[in-house]
Structure 1
Amino acid sequence: MQIYITGSLAFDRIMSFPEKFSDHILPDKIHILNVSFVVDGLFERFGGTAGNIAYNLSLLGEKSVILSQVGKDFGLYDERLQHYGLSVEGIRTVEQEFTAGCYITTDKADNQINGFNPGAMKYPCQYDMTRIDSAEAIGIISPGNINDMVDHPRYYREKGIPYIFDPGQQIPALGGEKLRDAIVGAEILIVNDYELEMVMKSTGMSQEDILDNVAYLITTLGEKGSVVSTRDEETSIGVCPAEAVVDPTGAGDAYRSGLLKGLSMGKTVVEACKLGAVCATYAVEKTGTQEHSFTLEEFTRRYEGVFGPME
């Protein structure tokens, strides 16, 4: 089964400020704020929802196709993707833009000031969807370009291609009508518990309404695991204990990778979510979204230590 991943590719540029922001902001001058923070250095990491999902899938032995857009500074990321054997055929380069980037400055009290430049993500990827073999494909639509998040579900529905809809941080930008349109007909809607409330509020749909329009609703609950809901039942999925929780960023994308891997193997959604739980644990044990690694043998041993023999 070929996996197609709609979503973002981005650079995360992380800076550390060795003091407190509050010591350099004058409360009575907040209306004319003008501050400059000298940081200790800058770390650049590869990220974006599509990049993170594809990276984890590569560790699991799956070579997915990324449907995304990048800018003129994409060279290093391009090399990384190809190093892991990932197809770049679905990635559009917008020469007049930079690749999407998140600029994160953290002070010693763990307060953050973030800036996000969508850059090339403002443009649809323009992939020729007719190249997808509808009999051998599954898609996931994760947060990225809004047009792609609306158009790709429509195409998948028309061609009978199963897809996972994962709106994430783009829920407010999509709005109720576009959200509802993308949800209706999805095989799986996956959100965390807070995002589920946002989806219901934005669309006016209840959880029952959602389950009338998708086969499965997966709700992730962080350290409490996840829940797979259908019209008939709910199944709780436990967590795989972490050796140390270092950074939860990227755990959700890793979970989705395990889910996709399981589905590509013909496992049930519940079984596939267990693979997702193990993959997420590897992500939280390292700083960054693509800094962890594992072999398939290591992954299998860890899975079986928590969930029993992998069928």
Structure 2
Amino acid sequence: MRREILAFGSIVIDNVLVVKKFAAVNETVQAEKYRYTYGGAGANVAVAAARLGVKSSLFAVAGSDFKRMNYEKHLKREGVDISGLLPAPFLMPRSFIISKEGSDDQVLYYYENKRGTSKILFENWKKAIKLANNHEVCHFSTGHFEFYYHILKKSSIKSVVSFDPGQETFSYPYRVKRLIPKCHMLFMNNHEAKRIKEILKIRSIKELIKEEKGPNLICISLGAQGSVVLFKCKSFRVPAVKPEKVVDPTGAGDSHRAGFISALLKGYTIETAAKIASTVASFTIEAEGAQKSLPRWEQVVKRYENFFKEPFPQPQKSWEEIKEELLS
């Protein structure tokens, strides 16, 4: 039986410092809070989808401290299939996130052995393709883009391909450029959209939709201003759902992607899926850490109805119909 979402990405320990202002060069700023939490874009998406009742799996390299930090126990408890995790003799990566309320984050990333991680992934590329073909959607997030390109260029993956390049749009633009034609759904924020236009030398992101090869669906997150969704010849805007409190925006983008894809798998239209995604993301920023306050489906239904002032809709299509639209 095919599973639903296979998330490619990373398993990371997030170290978050909350500040009132970002430090200038040679300036010391006192952090208001510090904590470490479970993170990594791939793991964030897999856990968020599992919370929403979707059968999710994760393909990533698990560091030598994966069990010791209780990350393995956490994923199992959340219902994420971890058969795609690859053991490594070195530590999990660490991210150091400087977070300021009402602003974008500053992120520093540390790999103990990035080359070793890449080697392990490439040694297991056949396993990746086998797992991918047992899932309806493969979501590729921040991670090893050369590996992603390697398995996607094999043209043997029959799943819907979703891609969120994240901050690597700025770090490795040429790798992002190579992957965009391989995806059916493309997610980004407004800063990344601006950079992608520069990379591809296009005047509007809409031009990507017109390409013979490339995404049929593009979603651009605008933070507190919501998101813009482009689907073939249509476009619409969805407002940001207001959270009960604003604590930490870390991981909101990942939960938004998980909410969007999960809604499509359940049979909701593109526009309704975008509203559901906005609702899911609103929960993430209510607690410290990317995975601390991810909602269950019933919580999403209640908040959706309160915010949009309408009954929560029933699924309008089958997944097979939606899949055909995304692939055609």
Regarding TM over 0.5, the answer is: yes
**Partner amino acid, structure 1, of 2:55:** K
Residue equivalent to 2:201: 204
Residue equivalent to 1:220: 221
Aligned equivalent of 1:61, options 49, 53, 58: 53
Residue equivalent to 1:6: 8
Residue equivalent to 2:318: none
Residue equivalent to 1:82: 76
Residue equivalent to 1:163: 161
Kindly state the Cα deviation for residue 172 of structure 1 after the two structures are TM-superposed.
3.0
Kindly state the Cα deviation for residue 264 of structure 1 after the two structures are TM-superposed.
1.2
CA distance in 1, matches of 2:129, 2:193: 32
Residue equivalent to 2:147: 148
Note the residue ranges of structure 1 that are not aligned, 5 or more in a row.
27-34
Residue equivalent to 2:325: none
Kindly state the Cα deviation for residue 42 of structure 1 after the two structures are TM-superposed.
5.8
Q: 1:180 to 1:153 in 2, by over 3 A?
A: same
Q: Give the ranges of 4+ consecutive aligned residues of structure 1 lying more than 6 Å apart after TM superposition.
A: 37-41
Residue equivalent to 1:305: 306
CA distance in 1, matches of 2:96, 2:282: 25
Q: Could you give the per-residue CA deviations for residues 7-59 of structure 1, whole angstroms, max 9, x where no partner exists?
A: 111001245799x978xx58xxxxxxxx9x99999632100101111121121
Counting only pairs closer than 5 Å after superposition, residues 175-214 of structure 1 correspond to structure 2 as 175-176=173-174, 178-206=175-203, 207-211=205-209, 212=211, 213-214=214-215
SS state of the match for residue 36, structure 2? strand
Segment drifting more, 294-303 vs 219-228: 294-303
Assess if the C-alpha contact under 8 Å between 1:70 and 1:100 holds in 2. Answer: no
Segment drifting more, 160-169 vs 206-215: 206-215
Q: 1:184 to 1:113 in 2, by over 3 A?
A: closer
CA distance in 2, matches of 1:230, 1:16: 37
Kindly state the Cα deviation for residue 101 of structure 1 after the two structures are TM-superposed.
0.5
Kindly state the Cα deviation for residue 214 of structure 1 after the two structures are TM-superposed.
1.6
Q: 1:214 to 1:254 in 2, by over 3 A?
A: same
Measured on the aligned residues, the alpha-carbon RMSD in Å equals: 3.1
Aligned equivalent of 2:85, options 87, 91, 95: 91
Residue equivalent to 1:264: 265
**Partner amino acid, structure 1, of 2:313:** M
Q: Could you give the per-residue CA deviations for residues 245-297 of structure 1, whole angstroms, max 9, x where no partner exists?
A: 21111110110110111121122222211111011000011121111143332
Residue equivalent to 2:128: 129
SS state of the match for residue 233, structure 2? coil
- Is the aligned partner of 1:285 residue 2:277? no
In the superposition, the TM-score normalised over structure 2's length comes to 0.79
Assess if the C-alpha contact under 8 Å between 1:226 and 1:238 holds in 2. Answer: yes
Larger Rg: 1
Identity among equivalent positions (%) equals 22
Residue equivalent to 2:324: none
**Partner amino acid, structure 1, of 2:207:** D
SS state of the match for residue 89, structure 1? strand
In the superposition, the TM-score normalised over structure 1's length comes to 0.83
Kindly state the Cα deviation for residue 66 of structure 1 after the two structures are TM-superposed.
0.7
Q: 1:134 to 1:72 in 2, by over 3 A?
A: closer
**Partner amino acid, structure 2, of 1:103:** F
Aligned residue-pair number:
296
Assess if the C-alpha contact under 8 Å between 1:100 and 1:117 holds in 2. Answer: yes
Kindly state the Cα deviation for residue 150 of structure 1 after the two structures are TM-superposed.
2.0
Assess if the C-alpha contact under 8 Å between 2:239 and 2:278 holds in 1. Answer: yes
CA distance in 2, matches of 1:39, 1:241: 26
Residue equivalent to 1:250: 251
Kindly state the Cα deviation for residue 209 of structure 1 after the two structures are TM-superposed.
3.1
Assess if the C-alpha contact under 8 Å between 1:283 and 1:289 holds in 2. Answer: yes
SS state of the match for residue 62, structure 1? coil
SS state of the match for residue 159, structure 1? coil
Assess if the C-alpha contact under 8 Å between 2:7 and 2:139 holds in 1. Answer: yes
CA distance in 2, matches of 1:170, 1:106: 19
CA distance in 1, matches of 2:44, 2:248: 14
